Amino acid sequence: TRLSEDHIKLAIQKDGRLTEDTRNLLRTVGLHFESYKQRLFSICRNFPMDILYVRDDDIAEYVAEGVVDLGIVGRNLVVESDKPVTEIMPLNYGHCSLKVAVPAESGITNIEQLSGCKVATSYPVTTSRFFQERNVDVNVITISGSVEITPALGVASAIVDLVSTGSSLRLNDLVAIDNVLDSQSVIIANRDSLVNDHKAAIIERLLTRCRGVIAASE
Ligand code: ATP
Ligand code: ZN
Please indicate, yes or no, if residue 81 is contained in any of the structural domains.
Answer: yes
Q: Tell me: do 114 and 148 sit in the same domain.
A: yes
Q: Tell me: do 189 and 135 sit in the same domain.
A: no
**Residue nearest atom 2 of ligand 1, based on CA coordinates:** 55
For the stretch 205-217, pLDDT in tens is 999 999 988 888 7
DSSP symbols for 40-70: SEEE-SSSSEEEEEE-HHHHHHHHHHTSSSE
How far is the C-alpha of 76 from the C-alpha of 124, rounded, in Å?
A: 12
- Mutate which of 13, 22, 56, 188 for ligand 1? The one with the most ligand atoms within 8 Å of its CB, which is 56
- Whole-model pTM: value is 0.95
Q: Tell me: do 45 and 77 sit in the same domain.
A: yes
Which pLDDT value is given to residue 1?
53
Q: Tell me: do 113 and 136 sit in the same domain.
A: yes
For the stretch 129-176, pLDDT in tens is 999 999 999 999 999 999 999 999 999 999 999 999 999 999 999 999
Please indicate, yes or no, if residue 1 is contained in any of the structural domains.
Answer: no
Query: How far apart are the CA of 142 and the centre of ligand 1, in A?
Result: 17
**CATH of residue 36:** 3.40.190.10
Its ipTM equals 0.97
Q: Tell me: do 166 and 190 sit in the same domain.
A: no
Q: Tell me: do 26 and 75 sit in the same domain.
A: yes
Number of domain units in the chain: 2
Which pLDDT value is given to residue 38?
74
Query: How far apart are the CA of 196 and the centre of ligand 1, in A?
Result: 31
Calculate helix-pair angle for 197-217, 19-28, nearest 10 degrees.
Answer: 100
Would you say the CB of residue 126 lies under 6 angstroms from ligand 1? no
Please indicate, yes or no, if residue 213 is contained in any of the structural domains.
Answer: yes
Containing structural domain, residue 34:
8-94+184-217
Would you say the CB of residue 183 lies under 6 angstroms from ligand 1? yes
Q: Which of 109, 169, 164, 117 is nearest to 141 (CA)?
A: 117
**Residue nearest atom 28 of ligand 1, based on CA coordinates:** 162
Would you say the CB of residue 17 lies under 6 angstroms from ligand 1? yes
Cα dist. 174→18, 48, 98, 149, 212 in Å? 25, 47, 14, 9, 39
